[in-house]
Structure 1
Amino acid sequence: MASKSYTLFLAFFLCSFLSFGQITISGKITDSKNNAISEAYILNIESGQHTHSDTQGNFIIAASKNDSIKIHHLGYTTAYFKVDSKQNYTVRLQTKMNLIDEIVIAPKINALSIFSEINTRVNPVNSSQDLLRYVPGLFIGQHAGGGKAEQIFLRGFDIDHGTDINVSVDGMPVNLVSHAHGQGYSDLHFIIPETVAGVQFGKGPYTTSKGNFSTAGFVSFNTKDQLQDNIIKAEIGQFNTQRLVGMFKILDSEKESAYIASEYLGTDGAFDSPQLFTRINLMGKYVGQLSAKNRFKAIVSYFNSEWDASGQIPQRALDNGLISRFGAIDDTEGGETSRKNIILNNEYQIDKQSGLSTTLYYSRYDFLLYSNFTFFLNDPENGDQIKQSETREIYGVTNTYKHKFYEDQVNGDYEFGIALRNDQSRNNKLSHTLNREEVLDSLSLGNINETNYSVFANANFHFGKWTLNPGLRLDYFKFMYEDGLTEAYINTAENKAILSPKLNILYNLKDNVQLYLKSGKSFHSNDTRVVVQQAGKEILPAAYGSDLGFIWKPVPKLILNTAFWYLYLEQEFVYVGDEAVVEPSGKTVRKGIDFSLRYQPFNWLNYDLDVNGTLARAKDEPDGEDYIPLAPDFTFTSGINVIHPSGIYGGLHVRHMNSRAANEDNSIIAEGYTVFDFNAGYRWNHFDFGLAIQNIFDTDWNETQFATTSRLAFEDKPVEEIHFTPGTPFFLKGIISYRF
């Protein structure tokens, strides 16, 4: 009875505490062209209370008459105003070259995105896949002719093509579940880099709104709502490379904006057998302020690419002179892929403190890939070429309700979300083929229907210098698989749910130092074919992680971050899409340290450094046999960038990955590399002239590597050794663009 009375008293106290309100003021933050600025930081200097503007630029904060309010955002001048008798204010921010000066270390769960935001403003992007490199410590590698999704490395994970990182664009998921090639396959080639406005990221399983695949972290891209200028851009480079970009305004008023963007890319690559790679991207976006409370966005995009590939080559073929570094054992590899997307988003401002966001998306995706990893190991006569293909439709909706509150002792916000996603993959196929034409054997064929329902709740409570961020997420999956290789109709189904709690704590020691402790649980789902074969057992492996770190701004022009982290991943079973088999993968432990630094000694000069060290091991294996193949243990990237008011700009960048174990006992080594890139240019009136050089010192480096057992046509016995795709040699291209 006493316990019950105590619970009632505590509930009454909390309700009374939160209901005691203050007088509040509201406003809107815009740029010089009256475009809304989201995530601007608003601080009441007298009380210390703070908030951020929402996606429509609106804010609300507790204040008294004569209080001083400070508003700032990265890349804009800081603004101030005094509270008078008005209750609503409009603040217009002017752009500013100096970035780091304007940063304030404040309670904000994803404050680390400051580092990627600086990257987007000062670092050049050579391709859509380069966008992932905005995330400190994230490395990518291409190993199939430019058209296949990149291999991703982060925090001691060989993530393959996306198994352990959640990727989205404008609220639409990019990861593809139960994909023909690999679980979580994330192909970002449908993004036109010039349309990207910002990148949000988080490392570790700590973000409640991110569910499936968010074990190592997440990356969210947002495209521009409007264009500042029309642009025509042309790039011409070595290896018969051409790229054309066009971006044009259709509507450009205070309440409506619309634009179209297009991209063509073609290249033969540096390989002895030309890649014959082509890619076409088309995109249109509309943004309308339908009413004072309603903002609507619509995005339509189309993407298509096709290519030939030289594939991974065995080290012995290069050593004995059988092929050159850019040669091939089987140059009939390659593929075709396309994606059509529709994204609709509506943001409704219920009142000054509450809002509702709804995102609907649809995607039609086609995939065809030819590969040969083992050459003549399994079929000495015809070779081991495989064909993977599927046609997929994705339907989804996400609804999020968010409410801000401002009380005497505590302020913050909470949100509730509910989401539904359905993937229908038809004719998901793996075949043994010859010269892309003849099907020798069907290894796997079926239809997949996978549905994910999710609900989540998240809150931020600010108590003076403290921020408490609890969260809870529930995901429920329904897996269905219809096997197309059986004579009788067999449609197997399984269900599974997983609960993911989170708790993040931040403490602002001073106005230039933030300490944080993050903890949470997340997961990646397994392939539907694993689920039905395992009868639903051990098919939602969970990841448990924690980060202890700080963000520090010791001087106005320098900001740095250090984090110590730990991640444990449960036992799972993996569907190997290249072989149509299920293999067990044991429990793993990863731990490490991240360090990032951004320095701007002058308004026109920026320096960045990211260093990442990791120890990754299988938990239940003997010492010396517990290495996790291809897990990076040490990486760093660094760069210096000049953006001068005279119009001159340029930069020198370096990325390094250490040599690492390619198999479990470290007897085969994947060689490390250090590569330098350079760019320079000049902006004159409406024109922009530039050049970019990848691998400026023409280093021989292996972009992707695997310990693979293979057999060449003339060999009697198979050999296990490193198979690799060579990295880009010295590659020069010229760039010219015109803005109007």
Structure 2
Amino acid sequence: MLHTRATVLAGCIAALFPLHAAADDATPLAVVQVTGHYNNAVGTSDAASQGSITADLIAARPAMRTAELLEFVPGMIVTQHSGDGKASQYFLRGFNLDHGTDFATFIDGMPVNMRSHAHGQGYTDLNFLIPELVQRIDYKKGPYFADEGDFASAGAAHIRLADRLPQGLASLALGESGYRRGLLADSVKAGAGNLLYGAEVLNNDGPWDLPQRVRKYNGMLRYSQGAYNDGFSITAMAFTNQWHSTDQIPLRAVQSGLIGRFGNIDPTDGGEASRYSLSFAQRMRTESGLLEFDAYALHSRLELVSNFTYYLDNPVDGDQGSQRERRNMAGANLAQSWRADIGGLEMHNKAGVQTRYDRLSPVGIYQTARHAVTATVREDRVRESSVGVYGENTTQWLPWLRSMAGLRYDAYQFNVASEGGSYGVANTGKARAHLVSPKLSLMFGPWQRTEYFVNFGKGFHSNDARGTTQTRLPDGTATDPVTPLVATRGSEIGLRSEIVPGLQSSLALWRLNIDSELLFIGDAGVTEATRPSRRRGIEWNNHYVASSWLLFDLDVAATRTRYGDTSPDGDRIPGALNRVLSFGATVRDLGPWSGSFQLRHFGPRPLLEDNSIKSASTTLAYVRAGYQLGKRTNVALDIFNLFDKKASDIDYYYRSRLPGEPADGVDDIHFHPVERRGFRVTLAHHF
């Protein structure tokens, strides 16, 4: 049935957009290029909140963690609530995205988000990525684009890897608290193409009383021929990581002097992860347009050991639990773009199909004591498959009016075999779901180097497969399965302007409604369907090339986030950001000197629905100073948390129990502190 529906819709798209046009799919608007670190010129996008980041900016700014690459997306905040070995915590457009739900991330067409994950739906771990091998990042926000499907309601980032390097690179970075990183990368001619390789080794203890002992190893091998829009690449990537972790800690334990800000309650938390992938990407110019094809296969393993409530449920051995999964994933994307002229109207069309299959064998949640399994909460084998078919038409109606209309159809199949836990096989079952998502955008101008946008779209995120067949909770209570696909509806009006020479500026007012904030609670092993929600906000992004050696960035975002219904508990969504501010200054090629300064601020978050308890704001500054020692060698000093702020990466409010406390525990703020001021020195040699 899944295949039949997809085939019928693909036929409809083919009939709507016949393949009989010229080969050029370039935008009909004139492009005004500003040489700089973002490529957000007028005429290059279909929404005010869409853009691209260049490799030059990525190389110019310091990053404490690999996942902070996503902070180049304006309005995005990346933090961590545990050890650096696991996926980071993401915030965007009023979402606490957890580890990636509602923001889709791709590497050359290969999805990074893990669905039905042991720890959280949409889990996005970027530790396998080597930042120096990233060529560019293309980002979109909102559900307005037909080629974006699962997890993309708040936005999406497409990370493109380099096919070749201008020079080989060997670098060594040393820092406080046992930080050591080595990198070797180069590309060489190989037959008619290029062979690129990269290897990274990273050790880091961090400032924690319990050294986190991150031991990360990355490798990449990539063969490519031709150009990005007319060539192919084959990429193999390998990643392993082990670490100890200091998770969020109770505020009362710090205030009483039981532990310090960098202390821990359970010293046996930690984890290990591995990821191995092989991917193929091809872009081919044909007489009918541009043909795009991506295929990928991946194997990953993960074990996370955490204790968030300490001695609340088990006063003897503690509440430590383990989340484990072993995953095989494969998929492919096929798209055809072409141009047509009908009735004197210039049209650009695109149709595509996206498939994905995940096999988890098994995915489990266990009670542990110092890593030893004492009981199984649940253990499942999951088969999840999906197909998405879409079509998109862009028409230039007038010199100043263009439209983009799209339609997307997604169908999912879930197969869950529940093999462990107190409820046995009660949650075994199958489920199917499908969703149609229309999209529409209108673009006006440009007038006086300013373009205007109106965008509408329906999107979705899938829910954890285990929730779609769940009939029993871990305590044996009967429950109903959750909705497999959660619909979202968004709209946006905005503008993009280059009226000031050297300045690319955009302004967007947006809103996003979600039918139900469904979430799999990985720590407890249950799926909860929460209330409908509403988000609306404003974003103002500015990228200014003051001179050939001085660049500025200023991004401001304000959001109002509420549940969409009434409840005596209140209407606030815990963890939702209300404001984000980011300022950056980059100096390049000033004689032998270069450098950058980055300031980021994110505002307080409600921790309870009634807003009676809130977190504090967090403001951090990073700075880099670089010096060219010779023609091929340079050194850089990075300083993180420049002003040594004692702030939080994230805050939660829930009940936990420390030794000697009442049996029913204590409600308290639990926080993960930002790292104190730290220094790193990097010596890089190009060959």
SS at match of 1:644: strand
Please list, as runs of the form range in 1=range in 2, the aligned pairs for 1:695-714 lying within 5 A after superposition: 695-714=641-660
CA distance in 1, matches of 2:53, 2:539: 14
Deviates more, 1:637-646 or 1:263-272: 637-646
SS at match of 1:708: strand
Deviations 1:644-694, CA, capped at 9 Å, x for gaps: 252311111111111221111112211211111110101230001110000
Distance 1:655 1:244, change over 3 A: same
CA distance in 2, matches of 1:122, 1:461: 38
SS at match of 1:670: coil
CA contact (8 A) 2:417 2:425 kept: no
1:577 maps to a residue whose letter is G
SS at match of 1:133: helix
* Partner residue of 2:677 out of 708, 719, 730: 730
Q: Does 1:613 align with 2:558?
A: yes
Q: Does 1:542 align with 2:487?
A: yes
1:731 maps to a residue whose letter is G
Q: Does 1:469 align with 2:414?
A: no
Superposition TM-score, scaled by structure 1 size: 0.85
CA distance in 1, matches of 2:313, 2:174: 42
Deviation of 1:563 after TM superposition, in Å, equals 0.6
CA contact (8 A) 1:447 1:481 kept: yes
Deviations 1:11-70, CA, capped at 9 Å, x for gaps: xxxx9xx9999xx898xxxxxxxxxxxx9x78xxxxxx448xxxxxxxxxxxxxxxxxxx
Deviation of 1:125 after TM superposition, in Å, equals 3.7
Q: Does 1:350 align with 2:286?
A: yes
CA contact (8 A) 2:181 2:202 kept: yes
Report what 1:520 is aligned to.
457
**Structure 1 vs Structure 2: percent identity of aligned residues?**
29
CA distance in 1, matches of 2:62, 2:341: 41
CA distance in 2, matches of 1:710, 1:380: 11
Q: Does 1:266 align with 2:203?
A: yes
CA contact (8 A) 1:293 1:350 kept: no
CA contact (8 A) 1:401 1:416 kept: yes
RMSD: 2.5
Query: How many residue pairs end up in the alignment?
Result: 658
Deviation of 1:401 after TM superposition, in Å, equals 0.9
1:708 maps to a residue whose letter is Y
Distance 1:251 1:446, change over 3 A: same
CA distance in 1, matches of 2:241, 2:482: 38
CA contact (8 A) 2:77 2:90 kept: yes
* Partner residue of 1:529 out of 466, 480, 493: 466
CA distance in 2, matches of 1:368, 1:624: 35
CA distance in 1, matches of 2:308, 2:671: 10
2:496 maps to a residue whose letter is I
Q: Does 1:244 align with 2:182?
A: yes
Larger radius of gyration: 1
Report what 2:299 is aligned to.
364
Report what 1:137 is aligned to.
75
Deviation of 1:406 after TM superposition, in Å, equals 5.0
SS at match of 1:316: helix
Distance 1:400 1:74, change over 3 A: farther
Superposition TM-score, scaled by structure 2 size: 0.91
Distance 1:515 1:381, change over 3 A: same
Report what 1:551 is aligned to.
496
Which residues of structure 2 form unaligned runs of 5+? 1-14, 472-479
CA distance in 1, matches of 2:20, 2:173: 60
Please list, as runs of the form range in 1=range in 2, the aligned pairs for 1:237-316 lying within 5 A after superposition: 237-251=175-189, 255-289=192-226, 295-316=231-252
Deviation of 1:211 after TM superposition, in Å, equals 0.5
CA distance in 1, matches of 2:454, 2:211: 50
Report what 1:664 is aligned to.
609
1:532 maps to a residue whose letter is T
Deviation of 1:458 after TM superposition, in Å, equals 1.1
SS at match of 1:228: coil
CA distance in 2, matches of 1:223, 1:730: 31
Distance 1:371 1:222, change over 3 A: same
Report what 1:34 is aligned to.
none
Distance 1:621 1:162, change over 3 A: same
Report what 2:548 is aligned to.
603
Deviations 1:70-111, CA, capped at 9 Å, x for gaps: x87564xxxxxxxxxxxxxxxxxxxxxx568x9741163267
Report what 2:6 is aligned to.
none
Distance 1:624 1:605, change over 3 A: farther
Deviates more, 1:383-392 or 1:244-253: 244-253
1:369 maps to a residue whose letter is L
Report what 2:90 is aligned to.
152
Deviation of 1:611 after TM superposition, in Å, equals 0.6
1:602 maps to a residue whose letter is S
Report what 2:351 is aligned to.
416
CA distance in 2, matches of 1:278, 1:375: 26
Q: Does 1:336 align with 2:283?
A: no
CA contact (8 A) 1:127 1:193 kept: no
Report what 2:256 is aligned to.
320
Distance 1:420 1:293, change over 3 A: closer
* Partner residue of 1:719 out of 666, 683, 687: 666
Q: Does 1:458 align with 2:392?
A: yes
Report what 2:624 is aligned to.
679
* Partner residue of 1:503 out of 398, 421, 440: 440
CA contact (8 A) 1:514 1:552 kept: yes
1:459 maps to a residue whose letter is N
Which has the bigger relative contact order, CA under 8 A and spacing at least 6?
Answer: 2
